[in-house]
Structure 1
Amino acid sequence: MKKTLLTFLIPLLLVLFLAPASTSADTSLPRLGEASGGVLTPAEESELGRSLLREVRRSLPVVDDAEIRFYVESLGRQLASHSDGERITFHFIPIDNDQVNAFAMPGGIIGVHTGLMLETRDEAELAAVMAHEIAHVTQRHLARMFARGREINFRTGLAILAGVLAAGIDPQLGQAVITGGVAGGMQSRINFTRANEAEADRVGMRILAASDFDADAMADFFERMQELSRGAGDAVPEYLRTHPVTLDRITDTRNRARDKPEGVRNQGPEFAWMQARARALSDPRRALDRIGEDASAAELYGGAIAQLERDNPREARQLLDRIDAPDAPTLTLELARIAVERATGEHEAALNSLEDLDAVYPGHPVVRERMARVQRDIGNYDRALRITSRMIRETEAPEPALLRLQANIASEAGREALRHETMAEYFFHRGQYEEAVRQFEVALEAGDASERDRQRIEDKRETASRTAREFREER
């Protein structure tokens, strides 16, 4: 992965620190004014966030597993609902990275490393870190940091993204890139960061407690990170590189927790199961090594997912059959059984099970996505496309994985215009604007495109062309 990050990072750093700022006045990419104008307004920050979200999807290894994405997004939204960010559109993105870390970016973008999911001991610890990052957004820390810089624009936002990428290679390099790309004055930046961290701890703890989690989880996590750093040399946990933890900080969070109502460490079994799923998807052998006679329900589930990753559905079924249903989150267990049915060619049984789930969890995005896949498996392409098209219409910034799924279904159905139109949107939402334009042009030439299709595609191509042009100018 580091080679991939370097491939993107080196040209990005050259752009940030060697290229002149664009002087074009006609642009819809976020050119938001000078620092003298104060901090970013919420609308400006949201606009900037939409553009940066596409950059995150293009340059970071975003987890494409629908269940992990849904879990992280659901936990994040629960926490955000108890924050002061009612008007902020948050995007909670799981990142396939084994470092223990999380980050916040302008516009409500919260990245959560899978390494953090695997290292936290319970849901409250994971929620504590996410609440801390949410607080950075709601308290406008990034907006204020921008205002201390030279210009509030998309280039400055890319500096933060470059820092996130650099941290995946060298944490100290990452911090230097972020601060160097945002503002001048080393000591003022250090003081600013310390003040932000203290406020994010305080506000994050309030969010954590209001969400019915144990407020002590924040101090517990800090203490363990500090313990892991002792004698670690250069192998200090990434979280400590970007979020320095001191004894005073631990003491302050522990004292504040005493004034909070009693909360829980886990709001159900889902955390342990998603932790097991993340482990199985990243390292199937490690997940299988945890299976013994006294394996927990979550470990058996993780083993089943690992066997599915190894294309051993019958062994996966045997592990799932060992799970005592009362110990399981119903939806997650049923989806695993459906995955086994798909893998063994029992498509009708899988479809019946999904229809039962849809009746209990109407509109659930994971259930709908799985249903689209099974409809494709049995050749019901029109039904599959209706499902994916509706999901895409209902989302302002659809997941690239969903767009790729629709494009694949359209290809199998012989719908060439739709295939290339959807692939164009896939590339657009990954920040690959030139390729998006090219795919829209191919879609316009497709023999099965109606006049109405061409008009719609033409409008989208114009938007993509304008964005590509502005992006070139801005960078």
Structure 2
Amino acid sequence: MVRLLMAALLLAPTIPLTIAPVASVAQNLPTLGDTERESLSPLMERKLGEQIMHDIRRDRDYIDDGPVQEYLNNFGLNLVAVRPEVRGEAGYDFFFFMVRDPMLNAFALPGGFIGVHSGLVLASQSESELAGVLSHEIGHVAQRHIARMLGQQKQNSMIQLAAIVLGALAGVSKAGGDAAMATMMGGTGLAIQRQLNFSRDAEREADRIGLQIMRDGGFDPSGMVTFFGRLQTASRSFSDAVPPYLLTHPLTTERIADIEGRIRDQRYRQRVDNPDFHLARARIRVLQNDSVQGLREANEYFSNQLRQNTKQQVMSAKYGLAYVAYRQGNFDKADIYLEEARAAAQPMAPSMMIVSLDIDIKIGKKQAQAALKEADAMRKQFPLSRVLTRQYASALIAARRYDEAVAFLRDQTQLYRQEVQLQDLLAQAYAAQGRQALQHLALAESYALSGSLPAALEQLTIARRAPDATFYDQSLIDARERDWKERWKEEMKESKERG
């Protein structure tokens, strides 16, 4: 039952193609009743979201790329800052992430986690279009649509809800319509209609909130309309597989008409895209299929893009070619292309996307001192960039300045306790020093943060047996082992209850 519910919570707001915004007092949006609020508290929403994220982060299609993740989160958090009240009474820390999927879609999880398909970003032609999608999803979180959905389910079976959601998912997947109908057999017509009505209201609320965020954030609200049009075109491919009554969102034409009516009297405002938007899209195109064949196809795409010969297209194409060459291990070619991308970007201010790739290329070319110098200068210029902070540590390790790397990383792990990459880098630095116990302790912390407690406990066992383990190390190992074993028992107990 719980597994079905988790799937329903993950997918319900997004099938088949979702776009959502944020809450606003000005629109007199409905308030949540006490019964609905009791169904899933804000703290429980966050906990559920974190549990789902543990599984997502372990999936191979989770795009854990520093520059892309940093761009997406900076962009999304700027939208959240336009309407701080969307964080709600629990003060959600929003987190935006990307999954490798060609489908044009995005989804909101409980507790402020918002996922975006790589295909959606590639289909976005401007930051205003992307802002329309993310603003809509922020709206789902702000209006607590999942909590309200569960409140409604006091009259509907959870299994029926899961059947609706999973049936719709199967309808747009490779399994096709037969699997969708088979999955749906457990759902009653009444439950379907209630869920449809609720979802349509939720989508309209999210659209209204998204437009307000776009307007107040300086984006062009018509970007939501143009992207909806693209979604409408894409959805035609699935019209035969998903019966109309299964679509948990209002018809795209209906939503477009509603949005056009709301923006008709607003002044047109042109917004110039951040160049990093186009660089991020080039990088995502490479990450979407990083196989040997995928890299060849990306290389061909960027080569064709150069023929358009506009400054923006040349810049992003050269950057894409540089990243392809880097992923292929051809660092000299990557360096040449990146310099050409940098030249095409002039007189643009230094781009974190370009600087980050430049540092990686220098490390790849064994130019550790040059990489360290650039990383040190750039992290001061971009003090909030976690990517450049981690690259500075990588450059210290590449330059064999292990003591400095350990000291720096120990400070960073105290400041940013949930950052898995820092523990991995710390393990590398300890390994280079030959400090086996501390190396495996750092790896254990990394696995624990990633949600893999059995692997973390295994690393503790290795650390305990290390010849250089001190009395203090053994005490720390004992403490971590007690804590993680208790957590593992609780997880196993919950798993049995679910089964």
Distance 1:338 1:235, change over 3 A: farther
Quote how far apart the aligned CAs of 1:460 are.
2.8
Which residue identity is paired with 1:227?
A: T
Unaligned residue ranges in structure 2 (runs of 5+): 9-33
1:315 lines up with 2:319 in the alignment = no
Alignment of 1:358-369 (within 5 A): 358-369=379-390
Distance 1:60 1:140, change over 3 A: farther
Which residue identity is paired with 2:138?
A: I
1:196 lines up with 2:202 in the alignment = yes
1:340 lines up with 2:372 in the alignment = no
* Contact in 2 for aligned 1:273/1:298 (Cα 8 Å): yes
- 1:298 corresponds to which residue? 316
Whole-angstrom distance in 1 between the partners of 2:255 and 2:472: 60
Whole-angstrom distance in 1 between the partners of 2:95 and 2:182: 25
How many residue pairs were aligned?
441
- 1:55 corresponds to which residue? 55
- 2:257 corresponds to which residue? 251
* Contact in 2 for aligned 1:217/1:265 (Cα 8 Å): no
Distance 1:206 1:74, change over 3 A: same
Match 1:128 to one of 132, 135, 156: 132
Distance 1:351 1:162, change over 3 A: farther
Quote how far apart the aligned CAs of 1:370 are.
1.0
Distance 1:418 1:113, change over 3 A: farther
- 2:43 corresponds to which residue? 43
Aligned alpha-carbon RMSD (Å): 3.8
Whole-angstrom distance in 1 between the partners of 2:160 and 2:427: 34
Quote how far apart the aligned CAs of 1:90 are.
1.3
1:217 lines up with 2:223 in the alignment = yes
Distance 1:396 1:352, change over 3 A: closer
Alignment of 1:95-174 (within 5 A): 95-149=99-153
Quote how far apart the aligned CAs of 1:89 are.
1.4
Whole-angstrom distance in 1 between the partners of 2:314 and 2:456: 46
Which residue identity is paired with 2:137?
A: E
Question: What are the superposed Cα offsets for residues 84-136 of structure 1, whole Å, 9 maximum, x if unpaired?
Answer: 32311112111122222111111111111111111111111112111111111
Quote how far apart the aligned CAs of 1:326 are.
1.7
Whole-angstrom distance in 2 between the partners of 1:110 and 1:61: 15
Quote how far apart the aligned CAs of 1:445 are.
3.5
TM-score (norm 2): 0.77
SS of 2:478's partner is helix
Match 2:193 to one of 176, 180, 187: 187
1:411 lines up with 2:425 in the alignment = no
Whole-angstrom distance in 2 between the partners of 1:449 and 1:171: 56
Distance 1:255 1:410, change over 3 A: farther
* Contact in 2 for aligned 1:407/1:422 (Cα 8 Å): yes
SS of 2:219's partner is coil
Whole-angstrom distance in 1 between the partners of 2:181 and 2:69: 27
Distance 1:280 1:50, change over 3 A: closer
Whole-angstrom distance in 1 between the partners of 2:109 and 2:166: 11
Quote how far apart the aligned CAs of 1:363 are.
4.5
Quote how far apart the aligned CAs of 1:220 are.
1.0
Match 2:485 to one of 465, 468, 475: 465
Quote how far apart the aligned CAs of 1:328 are.
4.6
Say which is worse superposed, 300-309 or 255-264, in terms of deviation: 255-264
- 1:420 corresponds to which residue? 440
* Contact in 2 for aligned 1:48/1:107 (Cα 8 Å): yes
Distance 1:37 1:69, change over 3 A: closer
Whole-angstrom distance in 1 between the partners of 2:186 and 2:445: 34
Whole-angstrom distance in 1 between the partners of 2:214 and 2:258: 16
1:432 lines up with 2:443 in the alignment = no
* Contact in 2 for aligned 1:94/1:113 (Cα 8 Å): yes
Which residue identity is paired with 1:284?
A: L
* Contact in 2 for aligned 1:90/1:108 (Cα 8 Å): yes
Quote how far apart the aligned CAs of 1:333 are.
2.2
Quote how far apart the aligned CAs of 1:222 are.
0.6
* Contact in 1 for aligned 2:413/2:423 (Cα 8 Å): yes
* Contact in 2 for aligned 1:408/1:419 (Cα 8 Å): yes
Say which is worse superposed, 298-307 or 159-168, in terms of deviation: 159-168
Which residue identity is paired with 1:326?
A: Q
Quote how far apart the aligned CAs of 1:193 are.
0.8
Quote how far apart the aligned CAs of 1:456 are.
3.2
* Contact in 2 for aligned 1:52/1:158 (Cα 8 Å): no
Whole-angstrom distance in 2 between the partners of 1:201 and 1:176: 32
Distance 1:104 1:159, change over 3 A: farther
TM-score (norm 1): 0.81
Whole-angstrom distance in 1 between the partners of 2:173 and 2:109: 16
Whole-angstrom distance in 2 between the partners of 1:454 and 1:121: 55
- 2:297 corresponds to which residue? 286
- 1:384 corresponds to which residue? 405
Question: What are the superposed Cα offsets for residues 385-426 of structure 1, whole Å, 9 maximum, x if unpaired?
Answer: 33433333333532x444333333333332322322232233
Whole-angstrom distance in 2 between the partners of 1:332 and 1:366: 10
Whole-angstrom distance in 2 between the partners of 1:53 and 1:14: 15
SS of 2:353's partner is helix
SS of 1:81's partner is helix
Question: What are the superposed Cα offsets for residues 279-305 of structure 1, whole Å, 9 maximum, x if unpaired?
Answer: 133343233222236351111111111
Which residue identity is paired with 1:85?
A: V
Quote how far apart the aligned CAs of 1:189 are.
0.9
Whole-angstrom distance in 2 between the partners of 1:170 and 1:89: 36
Whole-angstrom distance in 2 between the partners of 1:171 and 1:408: 46
Which residue identity is paired with 1:134?
A: I
Whole-angstrom distance in 2 between the partners of 1:150 and 1:443: 50
Match 1:356 to one of 367, 371, 377: 377
Whole-angstrom distance in 1 between the partners of 2:439 and 2:270: 47
SS of 1:100's partner is coil
Say which is worse superposed, 156-165 or 282-291, in terms of deviation: 156-165
Distance 1:37 1:225, change over 3 A: closer
SS of 1:350's partner is helix
SS of 1:436's partner is helix
Match 1:206 to one of 184, 204, 212: 212
Quote how far apart the aligned CAs of 1:171 are.
8.5
Distance 1:157 1:299, change over 3 A: farther
- 1:21 corresponds to which residue? none
